[in-house]
Structure 1
Amino acid sequence: MQEIEKFRQESLLRIQSYPNNQKLQDTASSFFQQTISVNYSYNFTWLGLPIIQYPQDIVALQEIIWQVKPDLIIEAGIARGGSLVFIASMLELIGGNGQVLGIDIDIREHNRIAIENHPMAKRITMIQGSSIAPQTIQQVYDFANGKEKVLLLLDSNHTHDHVLAELKAYTPLVSIGSYCIVYDTVIEDMPADYEWKDRPWGKGNNPKTAVWEFLKENDNFEIDKTFQDKLLITVAPDGYLKRVK
């Protein structure tokens, strides 16, 4: 254990130096901007299903799940199901009865079949509906009833209003010491002329602006910058929110 603590302390010292290393920051930013334009995050799978995330954020989520050991992980935004399977596999490794609850406004039939037929399906439940609809929120609260340790992941509609509504609706479920991870806050950091094609979000209207507004009125959460500082490449700068009280 002493060696593990030594490793942790050495890591922290390195991480603390990264924000002041401008060359490193510029390199990371350049890499991200180049890779987002070629759909880099669409290249990976987890146990056979597509997981549309940057590898760095996958590793960070692994660290958080192992640290918190939640009874329930709520994820808004299912896509092709790889993230649900990743979460379920981590809960399987931890042991116990941990469950993942996925929410999506449109769970396509072929994705549902792939998820339901996966070996990790025993830990996965899905709800189809808007994550901010009252009936969906009620279903989530009913499912979370009695769960002591809850982790929240928001990765659905990325507009300011939608994410802010999700934050207000679901963060009361997050247990102290656990996290709410808000993905794609990096939208705010992209160049002003970056084209989001037919997407309704963009600079000034995205998950990061929602996080900033949410934290003005809620001091139960703080941005844990350790993650973005050490990852260097992440879709969630200012999006790793730790519940502190």
Structure 2
Amino acid sequence: MSDTHGGQRTLYLHVGMGRCGTSAIQRFGETHRGTLLHRGVLYPSAVEMGFTADEARGGNGRGFAATDDPDAAIARIAEHLDDSDADRFLISAEQLLGPKDGRLARLAEGLEARGIRTIAVFYVREQREWLVSRWAQGLKSQGWATTLDDYIAGRLQRARETAILTYGVRCAQIANVFGRENLIVRRFQRDALEGADARIDVFGLAGLDVRDLVGDSRENASASLEESVMVRLVNALPESAAFDSRAFLRYLDSQPADERNGGMQAPLFRLASPETMRAAAEYFGPLNEDFRREFLPEVPAPVFTSAIPDDYEQVTEDEATTSRAITMVGNYMARRTARVLRGLDPAEPGVLDEKTAALAPTRFDERLTLPLYEYYEQLQEQIMHATHWMGVPMRKNPLDSWVYQEILHAVRPDVIVEIGSYVGGSTLFFANLMDLLGHGEVISVEVRRDRYEAEHPRISEVTGESLDPEVIAEVRRRCAGRRAIVIHDSDHRRDVVLGELRAYADLVPVGSYYIVEDGSVDQFPLGSPLHPRKFAEGPLLAVEDFLREDDRFEVDRGMERYLVTWNPSGYLRRVR
């Protein structure tokens, strides 16, 4: 293979599903970075990007994600590109810490501004091979005693029937950002890879022959032996064990052969509209049923459903909602499966037999086996209307409240502007924290005070609509010359939240925060306990809109480290 892009600087973005050689490519790029650069291909050093040497050599994307934030990673990649005279670059999506939160789009904008073309190389493999490969990894661990049959049954019972949707959406995201003509889909099979090796294959796409660097090492011999054993095991598995990515590969097979785009011309995987999502679910439904009959014969049908409830129809055609929409569908299918297996929902027709009922948790440990989504629902029901501060109702997640005190201690604000106080529990909470700091005031902005109970010398009130020009002017007057934190917890509709961000963001100095609460409603289906049927678009979307137009703020992911937060992407730190 060779580079054929007529002298234009080109970046090759390597993306791989699990067990597709990503770690090996990262270790190889880090080890031979100098030689690769001498030959004309820049592979940015993960060490220079802030990761430890062990993490860089290990090629572990999860390790990367624990050490840095994506914006900093993108900035450092940009520095590498600007400082290099190379005309070809190769990076891994894991060096961006994944393709979430618009990172690919931001990367694409930066590359386009530099006149750099992007070729995305996406590696996929059959589900049967993936399962056997994961099992073979376990054999290298001490005390591993799980048989292949038990391992596969366990993995497939954990709702992996939605994996194909993930692969399809990932391809769609990449194609939508960089263009379908710039997407190469490669099958991760030794006989399909250049040189029977992912490292040779991906650098070969960039026009570089690295066979001499890969060599015929002991590692390669071991890998070849493992591969030959794996092939025999894979061939012995039933077809239904390959239900997900086989469907994906079968779809690619049905398209006209095209080495450059892997047959991704058709729009099947652009899953944005409800109609398209329904069609996709129907497409995968028969595969799910084959899997159920083969691996879960004791569970009455239907375990998996291709019917999507009305809650999921609140999806626009905007491409930005694609990932969120398909995640909702996948979560729904996975939750339905998990609940049936655990005996929490009646299976139709008939009832669960004794063997299946044994899968249901005991009363003692039921919460420990809940999917995170259902745990969120329980927290909402048990906390939202039952949490108080010093006897005053406080509609806050206690984990978020703990984060607030950390922010207040670090920022030492002169004033907190609370937009939306309702009963006043959080207002009193902030005032008491100010007492501990020995400094500061809380300005409560609330449209009505008939339920408001908070009283404290550090609390002052501004009553009226938060977007009323007079209210805005009064808050600005009280905050003039003072170090402020703004906390938004009023009307959660997208347009209102965006308007308030625009109106009050200037109050926040560099190093301080504008906190947008309850973006979690946008992560759950309309009408669920976590997203009441009041509006279809909420704070999370407003934050995305705001960050596109105001580069003074960045999301501080460190404030979401307790995992369960009502404020995803809501801790906005002013950095410039």
Tell me which interval the TM-score lies in, with the shorter structure as reference length.
0.7 to 0.9
> Which of 512, 527, 551 is the aligned partner of 1:219?
551
- Whole-Å separation in 2 of the counterparts to 1:16 and 1:27: 22
Match in the other structure for 2:377? 33
Are 1:49 and 2:392 an aligned pair?
yes
CA deviations 1:166-197 (Å, max 9, x no partner) are 00000100011011110010111002553755
Deviations 1:87-111 (A, max 9, x none): 0111111113x00001111111x52
Cα pair 2:418 2:487 within 8 Å, conserved: yes
Q: Given the two structures, how large is their TM-score scaled by the length of structure 1?
A: 0.81
1:132 to 457, 460, 467: 467
Contact conserved, 1:223 with 1:241, CA < 8 A, in 2? yes
Q: In structure 2, how many angstroms separate the alpha carbons of the residues matched to 1:234 and 1:28?
A: 12
1:163 corresponds to which residue?
497
Larger mean CA deviation between 130-139 and 187-196 belongs to 187-196
Does 2:427 correspond to 1:84? yes
Q: Which runs of structure 2 are paired with 1:140-219 in the superposition (5 Å)?
A: 140-147=475-482, 149-192=483-526, 194=528, 196-197=531-532, 199=534, 201-202=535-536, 205-219=537-551
Q: Give the Cα–Cα distance (whole angstroms) in 2 for the partners of residues 198 and 206 of structure 1.
A: 12
User: SS of 2:385's equivalent?
Assistant: helix
The alignment's TM-score, normalised by the length of structure 2, stands at 0.35
Distance in 1 separating the partners of 2:478 and 2:546:
24
Deviates more, 1:42-51 or 1:208-217: 42-51
Distance 1:115 1:157 in 2: 20
The amino acid of 1:115's aligned partner reads A
Q: CA deviation at 1:34?
A: 3.2
d(CA) in 2 for partners of 1:45 and 1:107? 18
- Segments of 5+ residues of structure 2 without an aligned counterpart are 1-62, 68-96, 99-157, 159-367
Question: How far apart in 1 are the matches of 2:388 and 2:449?
Answer: 18
Tell me what 1:115 maps to.
454
- Please say if residues 208 and 238 of structure 1, whose CA atoms lie closer than 8 Å, have aligned partners that are also in contact: yes
Number of residue pairs matched by the alignment: 214
Tell me which of the two structures has the higher relative contact order, counting C-alpha pairs closer than 8 angstroms and 6 or more residues apart: 1
Hey, what's the Cα distance between the residues in 2 that align with 1:223 and 1:31?
25
1:100 counterpart = 2:430: no
By how many angstroms is 1:29 displaced? 3.3
In 1, Cα distance between equivalents of 2:526 and 2:389: 33
CA contact (8 A) 2:494 2:542 kept: yes
Aligned to 1:16: 66
Partner of 1:4: none
Task: Give 3-state SS (helix, strand or coil) of 1:231's partner.
Answer: coil
Residues 232 and 131 (structure 1), Cα distance of their counterparts in 2 relative to 1, 3 Å cut? same
Given the superposition, is the C-alpha separation of residues 193 and 95 from structure 1 closer, same or farther in structure 2, using an over 3 Å criterion? closer
Indicate conservation of the 8 Å contact 1:29/1:233, yes or no.
no
1:182-226 deviations in Å (ceiling 9; x for gaps): 001011100255375552x23xx1001000000001000000111
> Aligned to 2:433, what secondary structure does the other structure show?
helix
Corresponding residue to 1:64 among 398, 404, 407: 407
- What is the identity, as a one-letter code, of the residue corresponding to 1:238? S
Q: What CA deviation, in whole Å up to 9, does each residue of 1:95-130 have, x standing for no partner?
A: 13x00001111111x52xx323xxxx1100111111
> Quick check: 1:33–1:190 contact (8 Å CA) kept in 2?
no
In structure 1, runs of 5+ residues without a counterpart are 1-12
Distance, in Å, in 2 between the alignment partners of 1:90 and 1:211 is: 27
SS at match of 1:143: helix
SS in 2 for 1:42: coil
Cα distance in 1 for partners of 2:461, 2:565 equals: 26
Query: Percent identity over the alignment?
Result: 33
Larger radius of gyration: 2
Question: 2: CA distance between counterparts of 1:193 and 1:88?
Answer: 34
